[in-house]
Amino acid sequence: DDGPVAQTVVDEVAAATSRFGGVLVTGPVTPEDALACDVVLAIVGSAGQVGTASATQPPPAGYLPRTDSYVPAVQAVVDGLLVLGRGAPMSPGMFGLARHDGRTVVVAGDAAGLLYGLHELVRRGAPALTCPDDVVWDLPVHQVRMLDHWDNTVVHPVMGQVERGYAGGSIFWSDGRVRDDLTRVAQYARLLGSVGINAVGLNNVNVHAAEARLLTDHLDDVARLADVFRPHGIRVYLSVSFASPLTVGGLPTADPLDPGVQDWWASAVRRVYETVPDFGGFVVKADSEGQPGPFAYGRDHADGANLLARALAPFSGTVFWRAFVYDHHQDWRDRSTDRARAAHDHFTPLDGRFDDNVVLQVKYGPMDFQTREPVSPVIAAMPRTRLAVELQVTQEYTGQQQHAVYLGPQWDEILRFPLAEDGRTVGYLAAGLPVGTVHRGDDPVPPAGGLVAVSSVGDDEFWTGHPLAQANLYAFARLAWGEEDPDAVLDEWIGLTLGDDPAVRATVHAVLDDSWRTYERYTAPLGVGFMVRPGHHYGPDVDGYEYTPWGTYHFADRDGIGVDRTRATGTGFTGQYAAPWRDVYESVETCPDELLLFFHHVPYTHVLHSGTTVIQHLYDTHADGYDEVVRMASAWSSIEGRVPQAFFDRVTQRLAEQERSAREWRDQLRSAFFRRSGIADATGRTIY
Ligand code: GCW
């Protein structure tokens, strides 16, 4: 399986060698493993150096061979090769960077690990080649590090080619088929492999008629993409329609308990693996926003997910089954329906019923990728289910890649959040342990899942539309790998992308460091969400969704604002949390300011922990947020000539739009709440 990745390692070594003047890489070779030996020989040949290494630091406990077996293994030299026995229990993707006798050595248990080690070397640059003899170990925290593309193969009349895509058309598809020229996809695959992404969903989770046929009629297209991703350690996944047996297969039903339906999926999957032997599996959005699902047959989501899981199991494929299931035909008059409750209501009763190769993919918040939401209670509520947390790199609700919004700090807050009763964090719960791990002690085995995000990449020349939005793509991958400091990750991205100029570094930090909170200030302070223009979701619209079937989000009237989700008087959503959060959120006294309006309906005169009233906070933050955008734009203008001109111009143009839009948010929101409340802004700033 390592062959194609190992070839990439050879290529990367050649590139690194010409950059650094000498790198020796060794990998999972045993004398019996002829292919791998050839590959390592090739590596040695292209690097032109041979050396030995010894472990001067013991590897982390539990992941590696004990030092006593490791050191002799590393030191063994067979025909000029360093040998690391395949029996060595290094976890997938793990690597060590070693310095020995003035040489730099990458050791790993698999080819992907070698690849990641090499890229780490490139990230570290020259210092990695001059540090004292030492071994640095690194390994991915999340086993699955996945980007889902919401790409349609044809242009959708409403959503365009990429649903919620802000960087042009799809890099994969054109006119219903895979693109002839996959040069750009190859660059993308290398880019993703270099930061450890190992799974890519190739099509939109909303599966329309044309895309439903990828599974049956266009497997050769899927195979071509798989061929491009494979050398970088990335497996491809397809989003499939639950109704495929009906719509594509011509059966009278898609009932998951119908034997004919089960056979249909089994043979469809068999054909996929005949064409793409390392196919990753399926991503499924079922019974959600109009997508078909098991409810139509009176079945539940465990029945639905297991149907596909059983078809995939013989080939070790996985189903990523999304928990984003809610009623989008709500009646705004009915105050008891609460979209925030839906995933927990639907899924927690099913805990323990999902097959081992089902991963439940849960959006980080109970709502929908808003700028600020509490984290979803589902993440801590299903200890017997493998779980992945889904983030949104594409900036649907965070400025649509027109606004510079660095999301690293948001994701970091989410991943660090101690959601479980015993304090286990969201990141920990999503990382879990490898499937099959025997866990000592009485604790429940945490489920292994992964970290998934909706991709932001399209065929735009800057990949992400807004050039600074590349930082989000990079940060997602690095956080999924296990990096813990989003500021350091941003710093890394700046250096790798724009070089070492201190003025550039300082300016990009000034623009991006606090940009997520800035965006929150001028759009959605205090956890109030969805005041966006329905449909495209860009720009302010206070009541845009308030009386629609999609849900009700602020209940603002002349006296107050916010959604009462308490157990005492509201929808009871707080009761879905484990302690302490069920009580922290229940009380206005303890609910954090930034989530106050998500959990409580309060008078405008309610005094926040910060000491200001809700209405004054709304007035202030919308105005201050706009002022910050003005400062961001002026900071950026100071580095003209220090970054490539096209990059500079594109960012400048986007910052102008951000300024225009932030002004609109400021003025509409401040005016709307003055008109409702009749309370003046204490600072006397203009209200229209
Ligand atoms: O946020 C919503 C988006 C939909 C999307 C959906 C989902 C793919 O507005 O465009 O559909 O989430 O996550 O399925």
Q: How confident is the model over 497-538, as pLDDT tens digits?
A: 999 999 999 999 999 999 999 999 999 999 998 899 999 999
Which tokens is 595 given?
């989530």
CA of 164 to the centre of ligand 1 (A): 8
Q: Which of 174, 136, 135 is nearest to 152 (CA)?
A: 174
pLDDT-flagged residues of the chain (< 70): 1-2, 13-14, 16-90, 98-105, 109, 129-135, 433-447
Residues annotated as part of the active site: 289, 368, 396
State which amino acid sits at residue 607.
V
* Secondary structure E strands in 307-386: 318-322, 358-363
> Which residue of 325, 368, 550 sits with most ligand 1 atoms within 8 Å of its CB, as the best mutation to test the pocket?
368
What's the CA gap between 502 and 494, in Å, rounded? 10
The Cα–Cα gap between 529 and 523 comes to 9
The helix (H) or strand (E) run that includes residue 10 is helix 3-20
- For residues 264 and 258, give the distance between their C-alpha atoms in angstroms, rounded to a whole number: 10
Q: How far is the CA of 359 from the centre of ligand 1 (A)?
A: 19
DSSP count for the chain of H helices, then E strands: 21, 20
Report how far ligand 1's centroid is from the alpha carbon of 463 (Å): 21
Type of residue at 309: A
Which residues of 157-258 form beta strands (DSSP E)?
160-162, 173-174, 177-178, 199-201, 235-239
Residue 285 CA to ligand 1 center (angstroms) comes to 10
- DSSP-based three-state secondary structure for 622: helix
As a whole number of angstroms, the distance between CA 378 and CA 373 comes to: 14
Q: How far apart are CA 165 and CA 351, in angstroms?
A: 33
Q: Ligand 1 pocket check: which of 149, 203, 206, 370 to mutate, most ligand atoms within 8 Å of Cβ?
A: 206
Candidates 152, 162, 163, 322: which one to mutate for ligand 1, based on the most atoms within 8 Å of Cβ? 163
Question: pTM of the predicted model, to two decimals?
Answer: 0.91
Q: Span 145-238+270-284+310-488: which CATH code?
A: 3.20.20.80
Distances in Å between the Cα of 370 and the Cα atoms of 164, 284, 363, 397, 564 are: 14, 22, 10, 6, 18
pLDDT of residue 67: 31
Furthest-apart CA atoms within the chain: distance in Å: 84
Fold of 519-563+601-677: Alpha-d-glucuronidase, C-terminal Domain (3.90.1330)
Report the DSSP beta bridge partners of residue 459. none
Return d(Cα 107, Cα 586) in angstroms, integer.
51
Domain ranges of the chain: 3-138, 145-238+270-284+310-488, 519-563+601-677
Ligand 1 atom 12: residue of nearest CA: 368
Inter-residue long-range contacts of 543-552, CB under 8 Å, 24+ positions, other chains counted: 546/332, 547/332, 548/332, 549/328, 549/329, 549/330, 549/331, 549/332, 550/328, 550/330, 550/339, 551/326, 551/328, 551/330, 551/339, 551/367, 552/330, 552/332, 552/335
**Nearest Cα to Cα of residue 382 among 493, 308, 305:** 305
- Give the integer Cα–Cα distance in Å for 190 and 119: 10
pLDDT at 405: 98
Among protein residues, the one with the nearest Cα to ligand 1's atom 1 is 368
How many whole angstroms from 222 Cα to the centroid of ligand 1? 23
Atom of ligand 1 lying closest to residue 205 CA: 8
SS3 content of the chain, % helix, strand, coil (to 5): 40, 10, 45
Contacts of 270 (CB under 8 A, 6+ apart): 315
Closest ligand 1 atom to residue 454 Cα is 13
CB within 8 A of 153, min separation 6: which ones?
170, 172, 173, 176, 177, 203, 210, 211, 214, 218
Atom of ligand 1 nearest to the CA of 285: 14
The minimum-distance atom of ligand 1 relative to the CA of 397 is: 1
Q: CA-to-CA distance for 23 and 103, rounded, in angstroms?
A: 7
* SS3 per residue for 40-80: HHHHHHHHCCCCCCCCCCCCCCCCCCCHHHHHHHHHCEECC
Ligand 1: which of 148, 150, 156, 289 to mutate, judged by most atoms within 8 Å of the beta carbon?
Answer: 289
- Please choose, from the candidates 473, 497, 483, 482, the residue with its C-alpha nearest in 3D space to the C-alpha of residue 406: 473
The residue written with tokens 């706009």 in the block is 626
The pLDDT tens digits for 624-683 are 999 999 999 999 999 999 999 999 999 999 999 999 999 999 999 999 999 999 999 999
Centre a 10 Å sphere on the Cβ of residue 582 and count the other Cβ atoms it contains: 16
167: tokens are: 């960087």
- Start-to-end CA span in the chain (Å): 65
Ligand 1: residues within 6 Å at CB? Answer: 150, 163-164, 205-206, 285, 289, 324, 368-369, 396
Ligand 1, atom 2, residue with closest C-alpha: 368
Angle value at C-alpha 520, between 664 and 495, nearest 5 degrees: 105
Which residue lies with its CA nearest to atom 13 of ligand 1? 324
User: How many C-beta neighbours within 10 Å does residue 43 have?
Assistant: 27
CB 71 within 8 A of CB 59: no
Separation of CA 288 and ligand 1 centre (Å): 9
369: CA distance to ligand 1 center in Å?
Answer: 9
CA of residue 14 to ligand 1 center, whole Å: 42
Give the residue whose CA is nearest to atom 3 of ligand 1.
164
- Residue 319 Rama label (left phi>0; alpha psi -120 to 50; beta): beta
DSSP alpha helices (H): ranges in 377-445? Answer: 408-416, 426-431
Neighbours of 410 (CB within 10 A): 24
369 CA: nearest ligand 1 atom: 1
Is residue 531 within 8 Å of residue 597, measured between CB atoms? Answer: no
